[in-house]
Every structure is written in structure tokens, then in C-alpha cells.
Structure 1
């Protein structure tokens, strides 16, 4: 006889015990929701909270049911309790609360909760929905929300604001904003690129280049940064590194339209007009750019600079059609006609969508204080003025200061104050800049103690000095250097050249080297002075001008700089600092 199944003897073994826990009540609540039994669902969610009071999800589920039932105040009370007592990191509770307030038509409170959500939530789970609600609140309150940042898009809002400031020519304001973004979000490479450009437009070349170099250390293949660096190399006359970089850029064929445009404008500025023309033509084939007058101008410039004169004229006529109020196409078409009548060759022109610098001044003289706002606020015009204020010759700086007096806004005040504080600028020009600030109602004390970044000149070599025997040789170095064989120094800069030489002689009075190679010392002296003023010059340029070797110039320059710290001092005059040419 076979044995019986032991389970059959005890029917109770077929009963599955009910385990009452939070999961059990959660499942019951969900089933009730599926059947639209909200009362039962709320009851079960309350039980789930009782079993797991520290689980914020249970609380939020209960708040959600209360909201569905129209009890928005009770729902917000639960959500507030979650943030205060259970889990303050549940930032999505602010979004839920904003919805509840909006349903109660308490739009001020909804805005406050929504702004808190956007500023505190790092994940951005409800970012799209939050932006839609922001539009609703804008309509209801008839004003934009008081939102300073979106944490899940850290730096994006601020970067958009900075880009707008750049486009408006407000470079100093843009730079301040971009500095804070770069410090807080260094992975935002676009912001760091635009920071470099803001410095560049303000004429702060050293800061611009340093910013780009640091960016490329983090992202070596960044096309915008590489293009900007190429422009900076050209600016400083670094032909060797420029050539290597440009050859690499010349073979690139970017896919993204933004990259194509950046590369095209860069190649044009660098004088690689065939590559520029090819890229601009690619952009014109895209329907999205078919009505952009500036793009037609860039393509016309490239066509002109590659000898395609008929094509250039056709494109500028298109610019005239698309931008009838602009003087730019009429100016270039008129110049082409004049060159044709004179039988002149091709006239190389700039790729910037504005009139040449000298033509801008003619317009400013024509309009004076009645200058149209469109010209006053043109960012390219403003950037060229700010750059010329720092790096132009004396007469150009005088004209720029007069022009800036007409613009007379915050950016001008910043530029003139910075100019006055610059120890490399001439005192007479600082007086003119201070007079403009005074007319604008801004008090500014001329820093006469900073009229030169170098100590005042003393006699070349004291008559009782052990180095007196070398006086003639030292004077020969100074005379040769002040003659400026490299032809890069202005009169005021030659004064600083003399101060460098005097400082070096005084500092080495007790152990002064014998001056056998007058050309070598003079070349090194001119090189260091040029570097101090941010003038683009290389050892090769100076060596060729003086007919000596590069190693000779570099040896004497290093020897002199080790004593006077010229390079370091020129960089220290700029404040330290932690897409779109």
C-alpha cells in the first residue's frame, strides 16, 4: 500500500499567509487606481505610509492621489512634510507643489515653487513640463519669472545671456558673466571659448590666449578653440606655430553648420581665401541661410579675394537686396567700380560685416552726436574701437576716444577706466579719456604713479660707477634699439625701451656683462619692449631685422628678462582669471 501525501493530511498547508507590509498596500492602491477607486487608493497609500514612514515615495504617492481628488492644499501639506521631515533632497516635490498652486490659481506661490524646483533640482526630470508651466505663469502674471539659474542646465541660461551681451557689443559685461560660468562649469567649453573672444574684443590679448590654451589642455580637438588660437597666433606673429595649425585646419571638412561657419571665417581671416570660399559656398546651399545678408557678404569677400570679381559683385547685390538699409554692400560695389576704372588689381578686403575702420570714422564724423543707434550698437564696430584703443597708433586712439564719447554707455565707461589704469598708455591720452569720463559725470583720478610700468629713468651709467668705461657701448645699444630696425615701436614705446635698458644696467651694476655684441643686445631690447606692449613679434622677425641669429636674440633677451622680469610684469598688469569670431 502506497503511503499518503503528508500535505493531504493537513489542509492548512495550502493557505498562503498574508504579509501585511508597505508593498502589499502599495499594490492594493495601484489596483484601486486602475479601477478609478480614488478613495480606496488613498486609504491604501496612507497604510503604506504607516508601515514605511521614512520612504518619501509613499508620501509622494499619497500627495498625488490627493491632488487627483482636487484636495490641493492637503497634497501640498504632505509634500511640504516630505521636504521638511523625510527627505529634503526630493526636489521634485517643489514641481508637484507648483502644479497644485497653479490649479488653485495661486500663481505667485506657483512661481516661487517652480523657480525653487528649477534652481535646486540637478536631474531635470520635469524640465520640459516646468518650461511649459513657466510660459503659463508668464501669461498669468504678465512678467517673466524671477529665475537666476537652472541647476540641471547649469550655466546654460547664463551662457545664453552672455552670448546676447557679446552680440550687443557689451564685452565687459559678457566677460564677467562668462568668468563665473567658466569657474563653476569648466566643462562648458563654449562658454570658455566665448570668454576668450570677449577678452579679445576688449583688446586683452594675453588673457584671451591664456584662456584658449587652458581650454585646449582639457579638449585638444575643440574646433572653435583651434580656430581662435590660429587667430591669436596670427595676431602675435607666431608664424611657425600658425603654419602648423592652419595646415591641420585646411584639411578639415566639418559636418555641423556651426563648425563650417567658424572654419570658413577663420580661414578667411588667416588669408586662406580658397578654403574660405569653399566653406562659405557650402553654407549658402543650405536653405536655412538663404536670407542671411552677412553670409552673402562673407562669400562675396572670399570671391573677391580669390579673383572671382563677377561673383563677388553678384553676391554684394544680393546683400543690398537683403539688407537695403546697410551701407556695406554699396561701399564695396562702389569700390569695385572704382578699381575697375583705375585698372587696379584685386583689393583684399576684410571678412567682417562692417565698413573698413577708416570708413567707420568718416561716418562718425558725418553724424557726430546724431549717430544712429544701429551704428552705435554694432558689436563689430565697438570691438574694433576697443581693440584700437588698446593697440592702435596715437592718432587712432585719439579718434577712438572721441568716438567713444558719443556712444557713452557702460561698456565705454569700463573701457576708458581700464585704459586710464593701463600703465602702458601715454599720459596725454589718459587725460583725454579722463575728460570724456568727466563729461559723462564719472569721477576718475588719473593714476599718475602708474604713468609707466617701469621706474623713472636715471643717468645711463653714473660717472663714479665701475661700469663707466662701458658707457659708450651701452649708449650704442640704446641708440640702435631706439632706431627700431624691426619697425614695430611707436615713440612712447621707445621711451619704455630706454627704461628697460637703464633698469638692466642699474640692476647689474656690480656684475655687469661685457657688451661686445651691440646688435644682439639691441635686438633683444626691442623684442622685450614689443612683448611688453603686446605687439606680435618673434625672435625670427627681430633677428632678420638686425642681421643676426635667432639664438643670439633669445640668449640676450633671456639674460635681460631674468633681471627685469619684463614678460612677467607685462602679464601681471592684467587681472588674473581662473564662439564667435
Structure 2
């Protein structure tokens, strides 16, 4: 008969099946004596001690495994959680179950661990360890955000993020967080193929990387194929991360790709275990419920959201939308998971802020930034013109980077190039700019750009000045050319930035410009004479002159 660890292990298992714990204990002690470095034997011994109610002795064995024999054996954390729960040490049990789930979110005991966590919180008033754990994780995340460029994404500086993260990834190719963020930055700037390659590259090295999986799901929902999207959704629907922000991302991703019921399950579970759910979670849960047709649940979460002073208006807006949908007999209400008002409401508010000069509140909105950069890359000429106007208003470092990249693109019409260069002037850009000219990149210095650059944005603006300039020269009034040019350039800048003035008939506006300037410096000028010189109707000149005079007076009042 061969007496070794395997022999005593078999005997121990037989005694356990007969509930003969004393003999099982002796057998497993022998396995430890024969193979003291085998962590499985120690765990079996600890299991028998726990069955006998000696949880303290069981813990001593398990802690020795973690400290001396197999520090990476995550299931030992779960065994310790069970022991401490049986000892009534619920907060310690919570700490160990969190450690296990943190190490093995998809492990053998993951479902049991999540159930234990729910019981500890629901039945025994737990949550303190989870709150501490989440605080530690958030602090680590904040530090990591600075290292891997995530703070640039959160601030909506996507072009800056691409530039920064490409350097980080070249320097640290194993930095998966930076690579995930780079793929997102590519996506937000419209570089979809690069975005997909980035996410797939991370998953090739780490198949269970949830950030990459979420990213790839979003990319696939936008650019396909459907099979890849379905594969991502199947994997995401099976996981529930304990990291609050990561769980929120998984739920939001499922919602954004149309899996609203799955998203609601994630949000509802997260709301149940979170120590202090934030307003964004309540809105996401309500949005998922509304999209899935669960109006009662949606109403419950939006009412919770209405308790926060800063989100009361938002919640009431959606509650009214929900009531209207229910009254109309609709089965669902389409709601964005973005924690904000719908886009048409946002644009109304954006116009108001533009008029009031209050850009701070939405300058760093990541979704707005993403839509701007997408429009600059993929929109038609009119869309790109509007985007350039908005970037000229933003006039920050990331806007400048986006415009510089735009100017390097081939086949940009001259009018849009002029708009981009003018926007760079507004941003206070200095030094060299690379511009695509005649099939190649040509360097241009900002200091060399003409002061009347804005006139190149609209051919009609250029034509107005040509006609006016010809009149001043023909009538020997060259001394007024400088004043007229400054007024017309300033008016054109105003027209571009505000987009509310349409100049459609160059002779009418040229006559108006001549009349406004000459009236100020030559009292003898008559409107009908100027109109006759340009062969246009006097009322039309009067209307255009009124706009110009009002603008000039406003500029004078401003200083």
C-alpha cells in the first residue's frame, strides 16, 4: 500500500461523503504533511475545519495559503468571505468577496460571490466595504486617467487625445488602457477603421478586456458588420463588473446598441448594490426602461432623479414625455442614454448661449465635440462651414488642433480653407500651418495671412469689396478706402460668426457700403446717386445700409 498525499486525499473525500469530519480532518492533515506546498490540500483542510464550525482555524489555514503558498489563488478570498460571514464579521466578509470578484469577475464562484454580496448588503446592512473599495478604485482611475490620456477624452479634446495617445502607445505598446482610449479617440474623430483595429488589437491580447469589448460593440453598431456586433453583445450580456463606472459603461453600451432590456438589468442591479447611486445612473436606468417599454420602472427612476436639485428640470422633461407616450398608447419611448437634454433641446440652448456669449457650460461637452469633429471629416461643405464657425467660437487648443488637421486634407474647397484659416486667427494660432495646395502640403505662416482673409469665405463678399473699391477709385475717393475696407471686413467676420446675415446681391451691398462710409465723411452724398452708380433700387440700398450702419454703430459703442 502506497502512503502518499493522493492516498490520504481519497480517504479524506470518502470520510467527507460519510460526514465523518474527524477522520476527514486527520486525512487532510496528512495530505498537507506529505505535500506542504500544495495549496489545494490546505484549502481542503480549511474546508473541513469550516464544516466543523471552527472558522477561526480555517481562516488561519487560508491566510497562510495567501501569504506564503499561493498569493494569486483568488478562490481563497471567496472561502475567507464565507468563513467571516458565518462568524458574523459581515464587513470583513464583504471586503473578501470584493477582492475575489475584483480578481476573478468571471471566475468559478463569481455568481455565488455576487449573490453573497447582495445578501450581505440587503440583509445585514453592508456597503461600507464596497464604498471604500469604490473610492480606492476611483482614485486609481483618476491617476490612471492622467497617464493614459482619458482626461482629454472626458474634456472632449479628441484631436488632442489622438496626438497624445499615439505618442503614449508608441512609447508603451503594452499600455492597454491607452490603446483603448486611442481607439475611442479615433472613433470620435471619425477614423473608424483605425478605431476598430485598435479595439480588436487589445482583444487579441486580452479577450476579456471589457473596455475594448464595449468599444468594439459601439464601433460595430455604427460601421458593422452585424455578426461582430452580435458576438460582442453576447459576451457583454453575461458579465456584471463591480467597478461602478465600468458597470455603467457596460450597461450604457448595451443600451446604445439597442439591447435595452439587458441594459436595464445592469442598471437596476447596480442601483441596488451602489452605496450612493448618482443621477447619471438613475437616468440610464429610466432611459433603458423607457426604451424597453417598461414605463412604470422608467417613471420610478425619473422621480428619483427629480429629487436632485440640479436634475429636477431634466427629470420633469422626461416624465412629461413619458406621460405623453403613455397617453398616445405607444409601446416604448425612445430616450438617449446621454445624461442630458435631447439634441434639439441642446441646440436651442446652445444658440441662446452663443447669443449671450456663455460658452463655458457646453465648451467641454464630449458629445458635442464628437459631433463637431465627425462633421468636419464627413459632412458636406455647408456642415463643415457651420463646424468651422463653431470652432472659431470655441477658440481653444483642441479646436485649433482640429482645424490644423483639417487644412492638411486634400480637396478642401478654397472657401472652406479660408474659413479654417480665419478660425485659426480667432484661436490666436501662431507659427507655421500646413495647408494642402496644388496636390501637396505647403507651409504657411500665420503672420503672413492677409487681414481681409475672411472675404475669401464667400465669393459674394469678395465681389462686394471689388465693386466698392472700383467706385472709390473711379470717384477719386481713395482716402476712404481704408475705412471702407475695415468696415466691410468686420461686417463679414460678424456675418460668418453669427450666420444670420445673407449677402445675395453684390451691387446692392457695395452701394450700401459706399453710402454709409461717404455719408459719414461727405455730407453732400445722396443715396439715389449712389444707387444710380450701381444700377440698383434705392429701397434695396436703404435696407442694406441700415444693416451696415447698425453694425457700425454697435461697434462704436463697444469701444
Normalising to structure 1: TM-score of the pair? 0.46
Normalising to structure 2: TM-score of the pair? 0.48
> Greater RCO between the two (CA within 8 Å, min separation 6)?
1
